[in-house]
Amino acid sequence: MIPTKSIFFVMLVASWMIVSSNANASDFVLEIFGNANLDDTIDEKDAAYVAGIIKGTNASTNLSDANYDGKIDSQDIDRIEEIILGSEKEITIICNPPYNGAKPQVTIHKPVERIVVLHKNAAEVIRALQAEDKVVGLDSNLAKYKTYFSDLIEAVPFIGSWMEPDIEAILRVNPDIVIVWTQYPSPSLLEDKLDGTGISVVRMDLNEPLAMEEEIMQLAYILDKKEEAKEFIYFYKGYIDKISNRTEGIPEEKKLHIMSAFGDNIYAGIGSCPFGGRTMPVIAGATNIAADLVGGQGGYVKVDLEWIIKQNPDCIVRWSSSSNSTGYESDDPAVLRKQLEEITKNPEWKEIAAVKNNRVYQFADIWSSPACFITTAYFAKIFYPDLFKDLNPQAIHQEYLTKFQHLDYDLDKHGVFVYPPVEDN
């Protein structure tokens, strides 16, 4: 028998998806060579567009050269037709944004059957696309996620970390591609050492709500998992769109002023933050007090308490690095509570509005990950509980785990992702 609470969760999720079903129009350019008309897919319209370029009736675009040979001709039409059929021998993408001198254009030999995954987010999305059987090497940092990635950890060897990839180990497992962060490691530690091996390095973060759709679709074309990707995108983007549709009507003067914080020392997520900490609060209808700050590393800049007191945020949402004592790996909120109390029990913070009004929240794993849409839902619920009475973040999270991560993991019994807990209406 299915528990009554679970049925209610499903009903809430379904009601949100019905309302959100028309909110899935894409607003990105799929940066794959062959997407000549610069929309979100590669189809017969692209072949027709390239034919127009050859005839002189269409202007060339930066993605018209489908076979990436430096010229536009009938062979590009042939390559587009192959991509549509999934029979192409090569595909060239633009990794966006490129960091640390990495070349943005990457050509991948197909079919891709063997993947080395050098960060957690890629492993999570690959599982959502039902391509985990292609993974032949893992980032050693995934050892912290024995519950969440138990099947992969048991079946696949570790081949170094995202900071220090083991080139010899990578070569031993003979992958077709290696997936790493956009920013780390530097090309000198990976691309340069793999040059001439036929192994392609694909850089994507898969943790930013507004960029994730394009990255997932790029990965789907690489892995021939387009239908699976569309299903996943439809699921998560429905919630992102529904939340933003409600919050976009909030006048600027009535928006909550929040601080998106990271780490044991307080780092504020700024406007250039490449991770979800930049856009999640904005989608949820808040104003980030650090949006205009510059500097720092990875989109976070260290701020002092005097500055925070002056800004006086209405709410503070904070994320600390994952550990085996939070998230999926623990049922005890003690670690998140302790991290929260570093702020709430500190007398120097007591005059800040967020502390005085008990609006400080500590988050775990689901912040900087493909589950960032779930964190966005929690933000919406925390920031504007009256506006989002019908939003149940835990129900969304549960469906994500069951349907897309294929896990038998009951959130009523396990896991600690936000503290204090966010009550459902």
In a domain, 410, yes or no: yes
pLDDT at 234: 94
Residue finishing a domain among 53, 88, 123: 88
Q: Is 299 left (phi over 0), alpha (psi -120 to 50) or beta?
A: left
**Is the CB of residue 277 less than 8 Å from the CB of residue 368?**
yes
Residues with Cβ < 8 Å from 230, sequence gap 6 or more?
220
**Is the CB of residue 237 less than 8 Å from the CB of residue 24?**
yes
Q: Is 90 left (phi over 0), alpha (psi -120 to 50) or beta?
A: beta
pLDDT tens-digit series, residues 297-344: 555 677 788 888 999 999 999 887 656 667 888 888 988 898 899 889
pLDDT tens-digit series, residues 181-213: 988 888 889 999 999 999 999 999 898 887 889
CA-CA-CA-CA torsion for 302, 303, 305, 308, nearest 10 degrees?
Answer: -140
- First-to-final CA distance of the chain: 24
pLDDT tens-digit series, residues 397-409: 999 999 999 999 9
Residue finishing a domain among 88, 111, 134: 88
In a domain, 115, yes or no: no
Burial (0-12, 13-18, 19+ Cβ within 10 Å), 424: middle
The first and second tokens of residue 423, run together, are: 């009550």
| Domain total of the chain | 2
pLDDT tens-digit series, residues 127-148: 999 999 999 999 999 998 889 9
Least confident of 234-248, 263-277, 369-383: 263-277
The first and second tokens of residue 47, run together, are: 């072949």
Torsion angles phi and psi, residue 165, rounded to 5: -65, 140
The strand pair at 360-363 and 418-419 is best described as: antiparallel
In a domain, 396, yes or no: yes
Does residue 11 have a pLDDT over 50? no
Of the candidates 348, 349, 409, 359, the one whose C-alpha atom is nearest the C-alpha of residue 382 is: 359
Q: How confident is the model at residue 98 (pLDDT cuts 50, 70, 90)?
A: low
Residues recorded for the chain: 425
pLDDT at 167: 95
**Is the CB of residue 329 less than 8 Å from the CB of residue 120?**
no
Does residue 159 have a pLDDT over 50? yes
pLDDT at 21: 42
pLDDT at 322: 57
Torsion angles phi and psi, residue 411, rounded to 5: -70, -15
Least confident of 57-71, 96-110, 333-347, 387-401: 96-110
Residues with Cβ < 8 Å from 208, sequence gap 6 or more?
274, 275, 276, 278, 279, 372
**Is the CB of residue 180 less than 8 Å from the CB of residue 190?**
yes
* Overall average pLDDT of the 249-254 stretch: 93
CA-CA-CA-CA torsion for 243, 406, 173, 155, nearest 10 degrees?
Answer: 140
DSSP 3-state of 319: strand
In a domain, 120, yes or no: no
Dihedral angle sign, alpha carbons of residues 322, 327, 330, 334: positive
Residue finishing a domain among 55, 88, 121: 88
Range of the domain at 323: 251-419
In a domain, 399, yes or no: yes
Torsion angles phi and psi, residue 133, rounded to 5: -70, -15
What CATH number is associated with residue 324? Answer: 3.40.50.1980
Alpha-carbon distance of 116 to 127, in angstroms, equals: 13
